[in-house]
Chains A and B, each alone.
Chain A
Amino acid sequence: DIQMTQSPSSVPASVGDRVTITCRASQDIDNWLAWYQQKPGKAPKLLIHTASTLWYGAPSRFSGTGSGTDFTLTISSLQPEDFATYFCQQANSFPRSFGGGTKVE
């Protein structure tokens, strides 16, 4: 099984900050990686798939890079609505697996 490790687990930030979150896979997953945003009491929302493709409706301030085992999610200028928890997920193989989450607070 592929293990997904996110860092940091939490990141203090302010409106306007550039925020970067890292996700590392335990083996090569090519570009089969997605990022999700989750707010308290809500279901996760897909932000990015195939490592760097923005999902419909996701703001352009979100971007994703990486391939192989190392990936990053960047928020170029943090907005008030971006305070949330972010998860990565690998789609290279079964069982699908998620990172432990990064809380932007």
Chain B
Amino acid sequence: QLQLQESGSGLVKPSQTLALTCTVSGDSISSIGHYWSWIRQHPGKGLEWIGNIYYNGLTYYSPSLETRLTISVDTSKNQFSLKLNSVTAADTAIYYCATAPNSAYFDYWGQGTLVTVSS
């Protein structure tokens, strides 16, 4: 059974960098056709797609975030990561990692981690 687990700082100061890692178990992050995704949800709000990465490093980013965003993959650790620079209070959200077969739908999700941007 594929499982994903987010980890990282739950509190980030404004203007600093938000950094999260998703550890994948039950499958190889190098599996053909699987894209690895970040999605966030502002408190009490809807879902916002952040970006996808393939095991070879191919990325797709949300245009609204791409100037501040880096998603990377570490196949040796079966992990992928998110870095979001210059954060503001508007980046406070629950951040989920998920997997997307052929980059389309999100079939397995992590439990989510709340990141608060505050001084």
Which B residues are in CB contact (< 8 Å) with A89?
A: 47, 105-106
How many chain-B residues does the 8 Å CB contact rule pick out? Answer: 21
| A1–B65 alpha-carbon span in the complex (Å) | 14
B96 in the interface, Cβ–Cβ < 8 Å?
Answer: yes
Which B residues are in CB contact (< 8 Å) with A46?
A: 105-107
Main secondary structure of the interface of A (DSSP, over half): loop
Which B residues are in CB contact (< 8 Å) with A87?
A: 46-47
| A32–B90 alpha-carbon span in the complex (Å) | 30
A59 in the interface, Cβ–Cβ < 8 Å?
Answer: no
Say which residue of B62, B96, B107 sits within 8 Å of A95 (CB atoms).
Answer: B62
Q: Is the CB of A98 within 8 A of B105?
A: no
Q: A87-B46, A89-B47 are in contact. Are A44 and B106 (CB under 8 A)?
A: yes
Q: A1-B63, A34-B105, A94-B60 are in contact. Are A43 and B46 (CB under 8 A)?
A: no
Quote the shortest CB–CB distance from B65 to chain A (angstroms): 9
Quote the shortest CB–CB distance from A31 to chain B (angstroms): 11
**Smallest Cβ-Cβ distance to A45: which chain B residue:** B109
Which A residues are in CB contact (< 8 Å) with B27?
A: none
| A94–B61 alpha-carbon span in the complex (Å) | 8
Quote the shortest CB–CB distance from B51 to chain A (angstroms): 8
How many chain-A residues does the 8 Å CB contact rule pick out? Answer: 22
Which B residues are in CB contact (< 8 Å) with A100?
A: 46
A49 in the interface, Cβ–Cβ < 8 Å?
Answer: yes
Quote the shortest CB–CB distance from A92 to chain B (angstroms): 9
Which A residues are in CB contact (< 8 Å) with B64?
A: 95
Q: Is the CB of A43 within 8 A of B105?
A: no
| A100–B47 alpha-carbon span in the complex (Å) | 8
Q: Is the CB of A43 within 8 A of B111?
A: yes
Quote the shortest CB–CB distance from A53 to chain B (angstroms): 10
| A32–B105 alpha-carbon span in the complex (Å) | 9
Which A residues are in CB contact (< 8 Å) with B110?
A: 43
A83 in the interface, Cβ–Cβ < 8 Å?
Answer: no
Chain B residues engaging chain A, CB cutoff 8 angstroms: 46-49, 52, 60-64, 96, 98, 103-107, 109-112
